[in-house]
C-alpha cells in the first residue's frame, strides 16, 4: 500500500497542461467530497440519538417538516426535503407502521395523500427537543462558524436548485 499523501513523482512524466488538469482531480481539491463525507458523518452522529426512537435520519427530517406543517401532502414534504415519492412513499409507510404518522387520502382531491401526526408523533417532538443542542455540544463547533457554514451551504443549494437540468455536454 501507500501512505495517504499524494506524491510529486507523477509530475515528471506529463506535460504541464495535462498535469494542471490532472491536479484538479485530486480528492483534496474537490468541494463535492467534503460535502459527501460530512453529510454521512453527520448522519452517523444522529443515529445513536434516533435509534432509540426507531427513527432513521431521513425519517427525522420528515418529522421536522411535519412538526411545522402537518397535516400536509406528500409532495409538500418532498418540496421541503428535496425528495420524491419514490423515496417518500415507502419511508412514510414505515413511519406509519411505527405509529408516528397517519396517511389518508384527501377528501377534496383523491390524488393527494394527507400526512398527519399521530399522538405519538406529536409527543415525539418533546423527546427530540434536546437533540439539536446535544449535537452542537458533541461537535464543539462554534455557533458563529456553524451559522456561517449553514449560510454558505444555503447559498450553494439555491444555486444548485436554480440550475437548468441539462449540462450533459462533455465526456
- Closest to DNA by CB, 14 or 36: 36
**The three cell numbers locating residue 17:** 497542461
Q: Which is nearer to a second copy, 90 or 141 (CB)?
A: 141
Q: Do 92 and 98 touch, CB atoms closer than 8 A?
A: no
Burial class (CB in 10 A: 0-12, 13-18, 19+), 88: buried
Per partner kind, with CB cut-offs from 5 to 8 A, the member of DNA, a second copy, none near residue 90 is DNA
79 binds, among DNA, a second copy, none (CB under 5 to 8 A by kind): a second copy
Q: 167: which 3 cell numbers?
A: 449540462
Residue 18's φ and ψ, nearest 5 degrees, are -60, -40
CA distance 120 to 117: 8
170 binds, among a second copy, DNA, none (CB under 5 to 8 A by kind): a second copy
- Rounded CA-CA distance 134/52 in Å is 15
Taking the complex as a whole, the smallest distance from the CB of residue 118 to DNA amounts, in Å, to 17
Residue 64 vs 113, nearer CB to DNA: 113
Residue 47 vs 136, nearer CB to DNA: 47
β-sheet bridge partners, residue 103: 115
What is d(CA 7, CA 11) in angstroms, rounded to the nearest whole number? 9
Minimum CB separation from DNA for residue 101, in Å? Answer: 12
Q: Shortest distance, CB of residue 19 to a second copy, whole angstroms?
A: 10
Residue 110 interacting entry, from DNA, a second copy, none, C-beta within 5 to 8 Å by type: DNA
Amino acid at each position: 500500500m501507500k501512505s495517504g499523501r499524494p506524491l510529486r513523482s507523477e509530475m515528471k512524466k506529463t506535460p504541464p497542461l495535462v498535469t494542471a488538469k490532472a491536479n484538479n482531480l485530486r480528492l483534496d481539491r474537490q468541494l463535492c467530497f467534503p460535502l459527501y463525507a460530512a453529510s454521512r458523518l453527520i448522519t452517523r452522529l444522529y443515529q445513536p440519538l434516533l435509534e432509540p426512537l426507531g427513527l432513521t435520519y431521513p425519517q427525522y427530517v420528515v418529522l421536522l417538516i411535519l412538526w411545522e406543517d402537518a397535516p400536509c401532502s406528500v409532495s409538500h414534504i418532498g418540496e421541503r426535503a428535496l425528495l420524491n415519492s419514490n423515496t417518500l412513499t415507502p419511508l412514510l409507510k414505515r413511519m406509519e407502521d411505527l405509529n408516528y404518522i397517519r396517511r389518508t387520502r384527501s377528501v377534496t382531491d383523491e390524488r393527494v395523500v394527507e400526512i398527519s401526526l399521530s399522538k405519538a408523533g406529536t409527543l415525539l417532538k418533546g423527546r427530540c427537543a434536546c437533540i439539536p443542542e446535544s449535537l452542537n455540544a458533541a461537535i464543539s463547533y462554534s455557533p458563529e462558524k456553524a451559522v456561517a457554514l449553514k449560510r454558505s451551504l444555503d447559498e450553494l443549494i439555491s444555486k444548485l436548485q436554480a440550475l437548468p437540468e441539462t449540462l450533459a455536454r462533455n465526456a
